[in-house]
Amino acid sequence: MSQRDGFGSGFFWGVVFGSAIGAVVGAIIASDHISPTDKALTNGTNGRQRKPLQTEATIESARHSLEEKIAQLNSAIDDVRQQLGEVNGSAIDPESN
């Protein structure tokens, strides 16, 4: 009967002690596997690096490139629309939209 009387408190202290040991071991293992981004976060830089300001020329170049790609995509969409219309038996005029 004496073994049953101490089970509850022994179980409780075992859980507390095991949790504390597990937390310490987990912290030690985790500290060995910190990525450079995590290290930057702990140093207060929030993992962000300053990007140089873009000049108007680079912004204009990027805008022009995007406009060209949009035109290519629109052309490809019109071609597929026309092909699908021919397959279904009725050609669609891309200028009608």
| Residue 78 pLDDT | 93
69 and 92 part of one domain: yes
Q: In the prediction, which pLDDT does 27 show?
A: 85
Let me know whether 67 and 36 are in one domain.
no
What is the per-residue pLDDT for 8?
80
Q: Identify whether 30 is part of a domain.
A: yes
Residue 80 sits in which domain range? 55-97
Distance from the Cα of residue 19 to its chain's centroid: 32
- Asked if residue 5 belongs to a domain, the reply is yes
- In the structure, what pLDDT confidence band is assigned to residue 11 with cuts at 50, 70 and 90? confident
Decide if 91 is inside a domain.
yes
Residues 66 and 26 in one domain: no
Q: State the pLDDT confidence band at 1, using cuts at 50, 70 and 90.
A: very low
Per the CB < 8 A criterion, the answer to whether 82 and 91 are in contact is: yes
Closest by Cα among 72, 94, 70, 71 to 81: 94
pTM for the whole structure: 0.36
Q: Is the pLDDT of residue 48 over 70?
A: no
Which letter does DSSP use for residue 45 in this model?
Answer: S
How many structural domains compose the chain?
2
Closest CA to 39 of 27, 50, 31: 31
pLDDT tier for residue 41 given thresholds of 50, 70 and 90: low
- Domain assignment present for residue 50? The answer is no
Q: Are residues 59 and 41 in the same domain?
A: no
How far, in Å, CA of 67 to CA of 32, rounded? 48
Position 97 scores a pLDDT of: 53
Nearest-angstrom CA–CA distance, 39 and 42: 5
Tell me if residue 53 falls in helix, strand or coil. Answer: coil
Residues 59 and 23 in one domain: no
- Shared domain for 40 and 68, answered yes or no, is no
- Kindly state whether residues 59 and 96 are assigned to the same domain: yes
